[in-house]
């Protein structure tokens, strides 16, 4: 590949910015990638090949989109900023396997987009340099809609990646960890220096790889209640499980009932949320649900 012609170089990026008089919008978290090697590593971690249909969110000027177009079968990219559409039309003009959708991904009917743009049964992956301010809502929407997607390989803020890939009894472990790992197996593929972006972000970055699970690792009676209880357990991190649950379920359950349910679940109420495994949270939720779930 001729890196001089790639979009993801400082020179080419500055050239395009100047040509279109483009100014970055802080509100959209725009940080464009200017290092082809990083992009090629993202493609490799994602396991993208000529059979893969790829979804991208926030293509910017098309740096990653271009590499996805070269390596995959078909690319659908969602771009919220309409100022970038004419730029993308030009930078990706040589690729007939790219579709740009000028829409907020959070408003999009992604199931319909997949049906319209990919072949039935085709393997589909998400690869993106996500806007950092809205990473979590985007990923949770995509995971909870249970799309026919095999994996997500995303550049995100390192701190958020750490939380999504965390293990119990660590500072990063929390309700977001449980939510992401309920649907996927999460691992950090690499950390990324600020220097590969224009403009440089104020935070460290990482590439997170999420492999979608065929089945969740635990069985719960009610998913919404499970996530609600997990969130409640981390309500105030320094407080015990007993105190957090008593506060959350104050309208439904007496303290005595909470003690009884904790004992039934065989979980010590003096523990903190961060010490519980997903299996323990599932047991707790399934024990509490018959008593508190109906009222929630």
Q: Identical fold at 10-212 and 223-293?
A: no
Helices (H), the chain: 10-20, 36-46, 63-71, 85-91, 110-117, 135-144, 158-164, 175-183, 223-233, 241-248, 255-264, 278-288
Tell me the sheet residues that pair with 206.
Answer: 156, 191
Domain limits, the chain:
10-212, 223-293
The pLDDT of 36-41, averaged and rounded, is 94
* Predicted TM-score of the model (pTM): 0.92
What DSSP string describes 75-95? EEEE---GGGHHHHHHHTTT-
pLDDT tens digits, 184-208: 999 999 999 999 998 888 889 999 9
Structural fold of domain 10-212: Rossmann fold (3.40.50)
User: 49 or 28: whose pLDDT is higher?
Assistant: 49
Tell which CATH classification among 1.10.3720.10, 3.90.950.10, 1.10.8.100, 2.60.40.10 matches the domain 223-293.
1.10.8.100
Going by the DSSP 8-state scheme, the letter that residue 291 receives in this structure is: I
- Give the span between the Cα atoms of 78 and 56, in whole angstroms: 6
Query: Percent of the chain at pLDDT above 90?
Result: 81
pLDDT tens digits, 161-172: 999 999 999 999
Instruction: Evaluate the CA torsion angle 166, 37, 136, 13 in order and state its sign.
Output: positive
Please state whether beta strands 197-198 and 32-33 pair in parallel, antiparallel, or not at all (unpaired).
antiparallel
User: 215 or 199: whose pLDDT is higher?
Assistant: 215
**7 token code pair:** 């979009």
pLDDT tens digits, 16-36: 888 988 776 766 667 888 899
The pLDDT of 5-19, averaged and rounded, is 87
**62 token code pair:** 């098309």
Residues annotated in a binding site for S-adenosyl-L-methionine: 31, 33, 58, 79, 104, 129
Residues annotated in a binding site: 31, 33, 58, 79, 104, 129
């Amino acid at each position: 590949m001729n890196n001089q012609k790639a979009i993801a170089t400082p020179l080419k990026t500055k050239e395009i910015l100047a040509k279109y008089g483009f100014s970055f919008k802080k509100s959209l978290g725009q940080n464009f990638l200017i290092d082809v090697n990083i992009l090629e590593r993202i493609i490799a971690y994602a396991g993208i090949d000529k059979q893969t249909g790829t979804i991208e969110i926030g293509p910017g000027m098309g740096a990653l989109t271009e590499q996805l177009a070269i390596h995959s079968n078909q690319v659908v990219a969602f771009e919220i900023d309409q100022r970038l559409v004419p730029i993308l039309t030009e930078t990706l003009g040589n690729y007939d396997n790219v579709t740009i959708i000028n829409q907020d991904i959070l408003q999009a009917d992604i199931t319909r987009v997949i049906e319209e743009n990919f072949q039935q049964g085709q393997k589909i992956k998400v690869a993106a340099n996500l806007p950092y301010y809205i990473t979590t809502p985007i990923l949770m929407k995509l995971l909870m809609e249970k799309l026919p997607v095999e994996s997500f390989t995303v550049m995100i803020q390192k701190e958020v990646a750490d939380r999504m890939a965390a293990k119990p009894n660590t500072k990063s472990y929390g309700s977001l960890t449980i939510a992401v790992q309920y649907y996927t197996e999460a691992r950090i593929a690499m950390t990324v220096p600020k220097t590969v972006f224009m403009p440089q972000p104020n935070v460290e970055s990482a590439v997170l790889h999420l492999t979608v699970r065929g089945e969740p690792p635990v069985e719960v009676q009610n998913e919404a209640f499970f996530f609600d209880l997990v969130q409640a357990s981390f309500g105030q991190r320094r407080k015990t499980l007993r105190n957090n649950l008593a506060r959350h379920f104050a309208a439904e359950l007496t303290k005595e009932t909470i003690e009884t349910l904790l004992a039934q679940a065989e979980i010590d109420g003096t523990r903190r949320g961060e010490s519980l495994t997903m299996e323990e949270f599932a047991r707790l939720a399934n024990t509490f649900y018959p008593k508190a779930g109906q009222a929630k």
